[in-house]
Amino acid sequence: MPELPEVEVTRQSFAKRIEGATVESVLVGKPLRWPLGIEPVQLAGAKVGSVQRRGKYLWLPLLGGLQGQGGLLIHLGMSGSLAFGVNLAPKGVHDHFELVTSQGVLRLTDPRRFGAVLWSPSLDSGWAAKLLSTLGLEPFDPALTGEYLHARLKGRKMPIKQAILAGDIVVGAGNIYACEALFMAGIDPRMQAGKLSRPRCARLVEQIQLVLRQALEQGGTSLRDFKDAYGSQGHFQLSTQVYGREGEPCRICATPISRMVQGQRATFYCRVCQKK
């Protein structure tokens, strides 16, 4: 599943190229997770504003046209990717949405169709408000501190990895990045979240931010089919410390990396370097 680094890399790869473009038409293919929520013809004539990201969602402001002010909220789902260009390959069976503009075509390809493109009047109303209102802090928000994390974890009995993945405290630490950050912070992913001390919370915040920065610098993670709007794959998967390395030696202590399942997701960790 594309996580925050992959979504941000995608945004950066097409945001400047599409900004200011005029929407000429919208083509909708097979149904996605939710319906568009507006007649496609109503988007014609709108101008594309500055593309933003909130968590794993992209927001494309659309100004003018028949629909007035609003925008499209885009989620890549489990296997989706966006491409943008003037000479895209012919539309394929898994291409389910196209925003045709004066500066190129923005196309959503989603084999599993868990993604979504939703019309919303603003970020503070409609679908956008409903889906974004429960999200936690962005990982690089100055308000995300060890003290904040410690306060939000208080009383939580779930394992720390699942608390991070929940998304209501901090967004962006998806499965791969949670495994990596917990390893770098030396924290056992099974540890009860509410028992994490203030110093360890501070250390975990630092490592979440560091891991996500590294992932952004390396273009995200491409385990299966992720690619940005240029068609380029990420390379973070080549430098993981624990994720996907079951049985391989820990890069610090040489103990074989362990794997277990938490909340239906694979967790990779070092049973020596990571402590409860």
Interacting residues of 137 by C-beta distance below 8 A, sequence separation 6+: 143, 144, 148, 169, 170, 171
Q: Is 275 a catalytic residue?
A: no
Tokens of 249: 């030696």
Q: Which of 47, 251, 259, 265 is labelled catalytic?
A: 265
Residue 9 host element (H or E): helix 4-18
Sheet with 23-28, edge to edge strand ranges: 23-28, 95-101, 104-109, 81-85
Annotated active-site residue 3? The verdict is yes
Alpha carbon 159 to its chain's center: 22
State how far the Cα of 195 lies from the Cα of 203, in Å rounded to an integer.
14
Answer yes or no: 265 catalytic. yes
> Catalytic site residue 245?
no
The Cα-based distances of 216 to 9, 21, 66, 177 in angstroms read: 7, 26, 37, 11
Catalytic residue among 17, 53, 56, 161: 56
The DSSP letter of residue 269 is E
Residues involved in catalysis: 2-3, 56, 265
